[in-house]
């Protein structure tokens, strides 16, 4: 199959100008580049995409395309040259297919001015003009877009061994590529919203499932201690607001003295093997009852007798009764390198560790706090927080998106892979704003797992049975044209 070089209107878009006369017969053709049999590093007078090398491996690359422009008449040639100049004056896309290849790639090219010779007195071929297009490109070429239609992601670990996670398998390309995460959920975005979003790419991500990452508070493997007459623990059953219909209640008695604490030690999660090593963010699901809603709750987390955060974690007074509390980060193996760098034949494993929570209030008197579960979510590759500060105006149609290419969140009027508007602040009225703080998710060739943990908003609770509809798109990236 003959090589293809075409300027197109966007990745996968319609033809703007054909640089290969063997395809379509219009525009022009790449000089001495019909077969590209030498690959990207070509000899003179062949299209040449500079290779990635050394410290410039993540920088822009350069492409050089010698061209002949052809038209029926000298005047028509001028029109064609002008069309080429206009097409390359702003960011433009090049569709490429190597000789004998069957798959297209697209290069995002940056503005340039092609150097086209102007023969004034020649009479031999006034319908031809020679020149070269030289410009910078992204460091990678892109393949065709891959989509997942928004589908429910479970948030109830007591009902699913696979809560919070989405497997993204069979990713093509030869390097990591950003995700466009697309969320469309009329219930989830009918109020303020908060979620933790992360990915796991290394080892076997499909093994990092919620059943290995969670400990229910009522588990007999946990240890609890209180203060006689002031702080007591009760086991809860038959409560359909809590995961697995159970939890534990920390009851503060009428005679409770502010600052007195109780503790609970959660047994280590069951994740094991090479998938274990890494850093995880811990979340505790709690429910406050009665006067506890209007009072501060203070928590400190420990592992191996060491505090996991320099300051205690304060759950502010007010807001939603049920929420997920971020307890900070834990590393496995604790305080040790995650792997042996020497070329040993097998990957290093690690052991998980129990976590002890110390809890107290800054106010005296009666109150009840219910603990549902503690979970550990991977946080050492790509991880960040998605926040929506108010309900969407039209949650039935609008999308909340995380654009991995620019590490930002935005609201769109509809699915962003179709016709849509980006919704900004309306003049004179209060409108919702989405923001993402952290590293936006990326996927590698092969298997990946995306995590979305909801319920982090302090304004609106997240019922255990509510799912979140999450979809994604990605474009495989290639350092070498296929």
**CATH number of domain containing 340:** 2.60.120.260
pTM given for the model: 0.88
* pLDDT value, residue 276: 92
Q: What is the DSSP letter of 273?
A: G
Q: What is the total residue count of the chain? A: 482
Quote the pLDDT of residue 21: 55
Q: Are residues 302 and 240 in the same domain?
A: yes
What's the pLDDT at 46?
Answer: 65
115 and 42 in one domain? yes
Does residue 466 lie in a domain region? yes
Note the pLDDT of residue 291.
82
- Residue 2: count of CB within 10 angstroms of its CB: 14
pLDDT at 452 (0 to 100): 98
Residue 261 has a pLDDT of 94
| Same domain as 267, residue 169 | no
Task: Provide the terminal-to-terminal Cα distance of the chain, rounded to the nearest Å.
Answer: 13
Q: Which among 98, 117, 141 is the end of a domain? A: 141
Taking 50 as the pLDDT cut, the residues of the chain under it are 22-29, 31-44, 56
For residues 85 and 121, membership in a common domain is answered with yes
Q: 357, 375, 393: which is the final residue of a domain?
A: 375
Listed in sequence order, the residues at least 6 apart from 246 whose beta carbon sits closer than 8 Å to its beta carbon are: 216, 217, 218, 235, 236, 237, 238, 239
pLDDT value of residue 292: 86
**In terms of residue numbers, what domain contains 58?**
4-141
The pLDDT assigned to 410 comes to 95
pLDDT score at 406: 92
Q: Give residue 238's pLDDT.
A: 96
Q: What pLDDT was estimated at residue 252?
A: 94
Report d(CA 95, CA 481) in Å as an integer.
11
pLDDT at 122: 62
pLDDT at 35: 32
Give the tokens for residue 385. 């927080």
* DSSP character at residue 241: T
Tokens, residue 436: 């993402």
């Amino acid at each position: 199959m003959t090589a293809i070089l075409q300027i197109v209107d966007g990745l996968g878009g319609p033809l703007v100008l054909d640089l290969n006369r063997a395809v379509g017969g219009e525009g022009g053709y790449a000089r001495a580049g019909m077969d590209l049999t030498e690959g990207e590093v070509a000899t003179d007078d062949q299209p040449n995409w500079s290779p990635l090398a050394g410290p410039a491996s993540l920088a822009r690359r350069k492409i050089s395309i010698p061209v002949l422009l052809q038209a029926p008449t000298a005047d028509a040639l001028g029109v064609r040259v002008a069309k080429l100049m206009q097409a390359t004056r702003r960011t433009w896309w090049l569709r490429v297919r190597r000789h004998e290849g069957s798959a297209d790639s697209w290069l995002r090219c940056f503005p340039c001015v092609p150097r086209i010779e102007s023969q004034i007195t020649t009479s031999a071929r006034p319908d031809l003009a020679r020149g070269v297009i030289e410009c910078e490109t992204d460091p990678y070429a892109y393949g065709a877009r891959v989509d997942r239609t928004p589908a429910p992601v479970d948030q109830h670990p007591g009902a699913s061994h696979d809560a919070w996670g989405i497997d993204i398998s069979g990713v093509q390309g030869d390097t990591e590529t950003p995700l466009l995460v697309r969320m469309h959920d009329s219930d989830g975005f009918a109020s303020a919203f908060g979620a933790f979003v992360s990915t796991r790419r290394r080892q076997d991500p499909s093994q990092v499932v919620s059943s290995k990452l969670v400990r229910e508070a009522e588990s007999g493997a946990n240890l609890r201690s209180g203060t006689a007459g002031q702080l007591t623990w009760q086991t809860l059953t038959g409560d359909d607001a809590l995961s697995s219909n159970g939890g534990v209640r920390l009851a503060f008695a009428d005679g409770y003295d502010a600052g007195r604490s109780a503790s609970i030690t959660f047994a280590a999660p069951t994740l094991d093997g090479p998938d274990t090593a890494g850093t995880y963010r811990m979340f505790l699901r709690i429910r406050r009852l009665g006067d506890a809603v209007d009072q501060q709750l203070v928590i400190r987390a420990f592992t191996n007798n060491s505090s996991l955060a320099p300051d205690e974690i304060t759950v502010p007074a007010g807001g939603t009764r049920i929420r997920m509390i971020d307890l900070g980060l834990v590393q496995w193996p604790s305080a040790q390198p995650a792997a042996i760098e020497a070329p040993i034949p097998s990957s290093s494993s690690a052991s998980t560790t129990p976590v002890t929570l110390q809890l107290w209030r800054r106010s005296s008197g009666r109150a009840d706090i219910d603990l549902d579960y503690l979970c550990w979510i991977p946080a050492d590759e790509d991880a960040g927080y998605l926040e929506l500060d108010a309900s969407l105006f039209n949650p039935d149609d609008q999308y909340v998106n995380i654009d991995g290419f620019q590490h930002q969140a935005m609201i769109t009027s509809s699915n962003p892979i179709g016709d849509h508007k980006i919704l900004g602040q309306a003049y004179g009225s209060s409108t919702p704003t989405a923001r993402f703080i952290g590293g936006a998710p990326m996927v590698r060739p092969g298997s990946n797992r995306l995590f979305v943990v909801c319920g982090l908003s302090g304004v609106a609770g997240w019922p255990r049975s509510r799912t979140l509809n999450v979809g994604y798109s990605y474009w495989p990236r290639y350092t070498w044209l296929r």
